[in-house]
Amino acid sequence: MNETRPMPAMGMFERFLTLWVALCIIAGIGLGQLTPGIFQALGNATVAQVNLPIAILVWLMIVPMLLKIDLGALAQVGEHWRGIATTVGVNWLVKPFSMALLGWIFIAHLFRPLLPPDQIDAYIAGLILLAAAPCTAMVFVWSSLVDGEPHFTLSQVALNDMIMVVAFAPIVAFLLGLSSIAVPWDTLVLSVALYIAVPVIVAQLWRRSLLAGGGLERTLHRLTPLSLSALLLTLVLLFGLQGGQIIRQPLVIVLLAVPIIIQVYFNAGLAYWLNRRLGVEWCVAGPSALIGASNFFELAVAAAIALFGFQSGAALATVVGVLVEVPVMLSVVHIVRRSRGWYEKDRSA
């Protein structure tokens, strides 16, 4: 069995991520209005439909996160097979489809009169992208906050990374097709290769090298602030190009947050309840619920920009996911901790 490292506590960046995102929204909108030419030039810096500034920033976001994942933990999947099966089912068979349904209900119908009509499909596409990949980094923080079983969390995240390489594109394409949204297959496949497959390979090769030299912890400590800074710079760039639309439609952010928040609570609750019905220990059910609810928003932002562009409603929808992620997930952590007595009382009942 692999040696277990202590799971990280929530640092300043993670704890106040919502505040940093809000400040980036303000900064991006302001700079976009003051220097529109610079942002347009950055937005147009593309090669083969890939925006080069975003590609660099996304790699700075994703590779340090994937560097934390030990794919050797896949050997431990069988130790907590019921919790693993529950989380995989919620992540891949429920969450993307429930988000597509919520997008259809709220964005395509209930909120349609309040939204720009030419962006309805794009908003739904962004919500689908947000829900189609489970989180790979922040879940270690969430798991530590609910005293989660570390071997389960590590093996679940490693398994999700491998599933994501092959399942992300087909699920996204299927749900976009159901929503009558044109599927740019070439760009979608390129996004999967560029933002999932290649970073996973690079991170694992780098991880092995660092483990051999004893420098993994030191490197992760140095790269974590860089990774989050790259996320914030991406948001400044995105809102610099989205600023005009947001100033005209400030209500859009609130409306897009509604289906995102509902799907987090729904999927977390479903995973938590299923684990209890299956007699899974609380230390596994807690991280299972959190992994089942959280999103790989870095990938979602990158894929939305690649598929639909900086100024698309899809890109904006994924950024709203970043905005609500921390406070909503912290509330789920609170619920899981407060409900431990209920969970452990007659679990099989």
Burial of 338 (0-12, 13-18, 19+ CB in 10 A): exposed
The pair phi, psi for residue 295, each rounded to 5°, is -125, 150
Burial of 292 (0-12, 13-18, 19+ CB in 10 A): buried
Among residues 298, 66, 56, 70, which one has the least CA distance to residue 203? Answer: 66
Contacts for 264 with CB less than 8 Å, ≥ 6 apart: 293, 294, 324, 328, 329, 332
Tokens encoding 303: 């894929």
108 and 313 Cβ atoms separated by less than 8 Å: no
What integer is the mean pLDDT of 282-293?
92
User: Does the structure show a pLDDT above 60 at 4?
Assistant: no
**130-170: pLDDT as tens digits:** 999 888 767 877 887 888 888 888 888 888 888 888 889 89
Residue 21, phi-psi category: left (phi > 0), alpha (psi -120 to 50), beta (remainder): alpha
Side-chain-side CA neighbours of residue 60 (13 Å)? 17
Least confident stretch, 42-46, 107-111, 201-205, 267-271:
42-46
Q: What is the rounded (10 degree) CA torsion for 32, 35, 36, 41?
A: -110
Distance CA 223, CA 137 (A): 13
Domain ranges for the chain? 41-225+251-344
**26-55: pLDDT as tens digits:** 898 899 888 888 888 887 877 766 778 878
pLDDT of residue 14: 62
Contacts for 186 with CB less than 8 Å, ≥ 6 apart: 49
Identify the CATH number of the domain defined by range 41-225+251-344.
1.20.1530.20
What mean pLDDT, rounded, does the chain reach? 84
User: Does the structure show a pLDDT above 60 at 5?
Assistant: no
pLDDT of residue 6: 47
| pLDDT interval class at 276 (50, 70, 90) | very high
**331-348: pLDDT as tens digits:** 999 999 999 999 988 655
User: Does the structure show a pLDDT above 70 at 247?
Assistant: yes
287 and 146 Cβ atoms separated by less than 8 Å: yes
